Amino acid sequence: MPRDATPDPYTDPLVFGQRMQILRVKRGMSRPVVAGLLGMSPSWVKQVETGQIGMPRLPVVLRIAELLRVGNLSDLTGDQSATIDLFIGPGHCLLPAVREAVNALTLSGGREAPSAAHLAARLATAWNARHRAPNHREVIGALLPDLIRDAQLTVREADSAADRRAAQAVLSEVYSLSQFFIAYQPDSALLWRVAERGMVAAQESEDPHAIGVAAWLAAQAHRDAGPGHFDAADRVTMEALAHLGQFLPDADDRVRAIAGALQFEAGYTAARRGAKGEAQGWWDKAKSMSEKLSPGYYHPVTSFSRAIMGAHAVTIAVELRAGGESVRLAVEADATAIPSRPRLARHRIEEARAYQLDGQVETALATLERAHRAAPETIRYNGYARRIVLEETESRIPARRRRAAVLADQLGLLAA
């Protein structure tokens, strides 16, 4: 390799510090930023990256991997025997069928296309099934292939411009449901393809709700790609909010809810940046929007509702690394008001992050156990939960180590 070439941490035999530096730079993060998020000094980060300090213990390695959004632990450590996926879960057995439906060229084949109204009813049933199911990927993965093919066919065979717009709106939201299935599985190209198709279909539909949902998911995809993509997440969010603004005076609950969900997303991204005042300001706006919803309304895609605002407050505090505050908010949040099993499990994971930040590790593990009971597939695919469990399998306290090992086995981490 030429001396002036940039080493590739995925192929070259580099030491831990070199890999950390290359991955940090690729994410667009400075040493002071990484140091602050780790609770270390910039000089410590420099010493690790330059090899003056060797590879830290596993808990710190896992925190670094989380910050740098490392997909597989071996990409950071260089140890190919430690092929543990952190932010990418296992490939679901139904993923190939969903991928085939997305990639297929859907022609009529002699079939009659269902109406947009019929598809919308099937889509609503699918969302309801997802919220009730602990194995939600299995449930929607079985429904998606036919939904995708039928929605594509309905768009293709629409007789009028109005019918085509209605069909595009449903197709966009079918792609939105698909993203919930594909996310955190080992096919990021498929996820982005579905996200882009969903956005195109939403724009073709001219439906404000479909546009808002597509933007909400696109903003999340950008933000999860790392700090270098936060600006892109903000642009999508702000453009969608500006577009929805013209509809809000006479909007129904669906449009108000997607606007509120986008406001929270703006706060979430601000919290990831460490902008406390901005994050709190957006949360306040989302809270105000939630109070304009009908009592008991629960948005099927985003879970936005009055009931979710307590959970959202916990997430903001956790992302700001406010341990004590996030625990206080977790205690105050009424998790029982969240009707969706996968969303409840996600909230339990955020609570566990709060307790770990506050040094209450036993409570964090107990909370992850509750998340597993609510929806095993949610915690199995969640990188934060996986990181906490892996950290505690190295605990010096035997009882804690055994408890974490049981969870790690349930999540499939020991097999990895």
Q: Which of 153, 175, 206 is the last residue of a domain?
A: 206
The pLDDT of residue 84? 52
240 falls within a domain: no
Q: What is the DSSP string of 298-314?
A: --TTT--SSTTHHHHHH
Residues 43 and 105 grouped into a single domain: no
Give yes or no for a contact between 303 and 294, defined as CB atoms under 8 angstroms apart.
Answer: no
Residues 126 and 161 grouped into a single domain: yes
User: Comparing C-alpha atoms, which of 351, 358, 353, 415 is closest to residue 389?
Assistant: 353
Q: Could you count the other beta carbons within 10 Å of the beta carbon of residue 180?
A: 17
Residues 72 and 34 grouped into a single domain: yes
Q: Could you count the other beta carbons within 10 Å of the beta carbon of residue 29?
A: 18
Q: What's the token pair of residue 32?
A: 């002071």
Q: Could you count the other beta carbons within 10 Å of the beta carbon of residue 65?
A: 24
Which amino acid does the sequence have at 248? L
321 falls within a domain: no
User: Comparing C-alpha atoms, which of 214, 149, 123, 137 is closest to residue 176?
Assistant: 214
Which whole-number Å values give the CA distances from 202 to 90, 177, 240, 255, in the listed order?
30, 13, 12, 14
Q: State how far the Cα of 368 lies from the Cα of 204, in Å rounded to an integer.
A: 42
The pLDDT of residue 13? 54
Which stretches within 133-252 are classed as H helix? 136-156, 161-182, 188-205, 208-224, 230-245
262 falls within a domain: no
The pLDDT of residue 109? 61
Q: What is the pLDDT along the chain (416 residues), one digit of tens a residue?
A: 344 444 454 444 578 888 888 888 887 778 887 887 777 888 899 988 988 888 887 778 877 887 787 767 777 887 655 545 555 667 889 999 999 999 987 666 677 889 999 999 999 999 999 999 999 999 999 999 999 999 999 999 999 999 999 999 999 999 999 999 998 888 888 999 999 999 999 999 999 999 999 999 999 999 888 777 899 999 999 999 999 999 999 999 999 999 999 999 999 999 998 899 999 999 999 999 999 999 999 999 999 999 999 999 999 999 998 889 999 999 998 888 899 999 999 999 999 999 999 999 999 999 999 999 999 999 988 888 988 888 888 888 999 989 999 998 888 876 54
197 falls within a domain: yes
Beta bridge partners of 85: 72
User: Comparing C-alpha atoms, which of 394, 388, 328 is closest to residue 364?
Assistant: 388
Element (H, E) at 383: helix 383-392
Give yes or no for a contact between 144 and 98, defined as CB atoms under 8 angstroms apart.
Answer: yes
Q: Could you count the other beta carbons within 10 Å of the beta carbon of residue 219?
A: 27
The pLDDT of residue 416? 43
Q: Which of 35, 54, 77 is the last residue of a domain?
A: 77
Torsion sign across C-alpha atoms 167, 177, 262, 269: negative
Residues 26 and 69 grouped into a single domain: yes
183 falls within a domain: yes
Q: What is the CATH number of the domain that holds 21?
A: 1.10.260.40
The pLDDT of residue 294? 95
**What is the pTM for the complete model shown?**
0.81
Q: State how far the Cα of 351 lies from the Cα of 142, in Å rounded to an integer.
A: 31
Please, what is the angle between helix 136-156 and helix 161-182, to 10°? 160
Residues 20 and 105 grouped into a single domain: no
Residues 117 and 68 grouped into a single domain: no
227 falls within a domain: no
User: Comparing C-alpha atoms, which of 71, 77, 21, 79 is closest to residue 6?
Assistant: 21
Residues 50 and 104 grouped into a single domain: no
Q: What's the token pair of residue 209?
A: 């709700």
How many residues can be counted in the chain?
416
Q: Could you count the other beta carbons within 10 Å of the beta carbon of residue 344?
A: 23
Residues 47 and 119 grouped into a single domain: no
Which amino acid does the sequence have at 134? P
The pLDDT of residue 8? 52
232 falls within a domain: no
Residues 98 and 171 grouped into a single domain: yes
The pLDDT of residue 212? 97
Residues 97 and 188 grouped into a single domain: yes
- If one counts the domains in the chain, the total is 3
User: Comparing C-alpha atoms, which of 152, 148, 147, 137 is closest to residue 341?
Assistant: 137
Residues 60 and 99 grouped into a single domain: no
242 falls within a domain: no
Q: Which of 152, 171, 206 is the last residue of a domain?
A: 206
Residues 33 and 127 grouped into a single domain: no
What residue numbers bound the domain in which 172 lies? 92-206
